[in-house]
Amino acid sequence: PPGVTVVLLAVGSARPGAVGDTLILTRLERDTEPLSVRIPTQGSQAPLGSILRDFEAIQREQRECSACTDRQDWWDRRSRLDLRMQTLIQSLQFHVLGCWRGLLLPSPPGKSPTLLQECSRLIPELQGCGWRDP
């Protein structure tokens, strides 16, 4: 529908069955060509595999927390899990997505350059700063 943007995140790996170290971000909008960006993470401060392991641990502890019957203990656990999740999301934003996190934002209404046009302009600028397209 008009005004709806869908962003897909997928994990890729060069080895089948291995935890991937590359994030594929695809953005879909009506009347616009899909835009996909390959984001390597192996050299980042927070490799994707590490973030995924942390996320799985948080989910596991959340299930354990849900079974907790002591109200104070439940709140203590829940607060710690919330802080860990906040830290995880910030790591994903700043250390994995980096400059590409802007692709998660909705497009401004009205006439504006398409993302494809913006990326075409941005990529040479990034390369001028030392970024290399993997």
Separation CA 8–CA 104 (nearest Å): 9
pLDDT single digits (tens) 86-113: 999 999 888 888 888 888 887 766 656 6
**CA-wise closest residue to 23 among 121, 92, 117:** 92
Entry field: residues in the chain: 134
Task: Check residues 51 and 42 and name the one with the higher pLDDT.
Answer: 51
pLDDT single digits (tens) 73-90: 999 999 999 999 999 999
Let me know: does 41 contact 23? Beta carbons within 8 Å: yes
Q: So what's the pLDDT on residue 89?
A: 92
Which residues of 30-98 form beta strands (DSSP E)?
35-40
Let me know: does 29 contact 125? Beta carbons within 8 Å: no
Q: Could you tell me the residue ranges of all domains in the chain?
A: 5-128
